[in-house]
Amino acid sequence: MYTLFVDMNFKAQHQLSFADGTQEPLHEHDWKVCAAVSCDRLDADELVIDFEELKSLLSGILQELRGQRLESLGIFEHLNVSAETVARTLYARLAPKLPSTVRLESIEVTEAPGCRARYAP
């Protein structure tokens, strides 16, 4: 199996809500996203997928998030916007855009240095 990784980032705000009713202050992160994709056989060009194609697909999704308060976006409606839910939501948005021969293995989101979450179904 072959696996590729692309890393991108976006700046956005969020504000976690906790079960006890408290909320953390609204704050911004420079979110870092790593998408891992794989396939069993390389294509005719001997690629899993062209890095630029994968970056373009992920960039299109991240563009919707840049500079936003994440809780205000419909894709996060009824969610507590944590690194975990951002990773899961990005996975759900990217997976259907990939060629049928390419599998999205995981999305990893780094919220702050040393603090990251990975979603892989």
Q: What domains does the chain contain, in order, with CATH numbers?
A: 2-119 (3.30.479.10)
Kind plus residue range of the DSSP H or E element containing 31:
strand 27-39
Residues 8, 33 contacting (CB under 8 angstroms): yes
State phi, psi for 22 to the nearest 5 degrees: -80, 160
Q: What is the pTM of this model?
A: 0.93
- End-to-end CA distance of the chain: give it in Å, rounded: 18
* Per-residue confidence in pLDDT tens, the chain, 121 aa: 999 999 999 999 999 999 999 999 999 999 999 999 999 999 999 999 999 999 999 999 999 999 999 999 999 988 999 999 999 999 999 999 999 999 999 999 999 999 999 999 9
Instruction: Point out which residues pair with 99 in neighbouring strands.
Output: none
Question: How distant, in Å, are the alpha carbons of 9, 42, 66 from that of 52?
Answer: 15, 16, 20
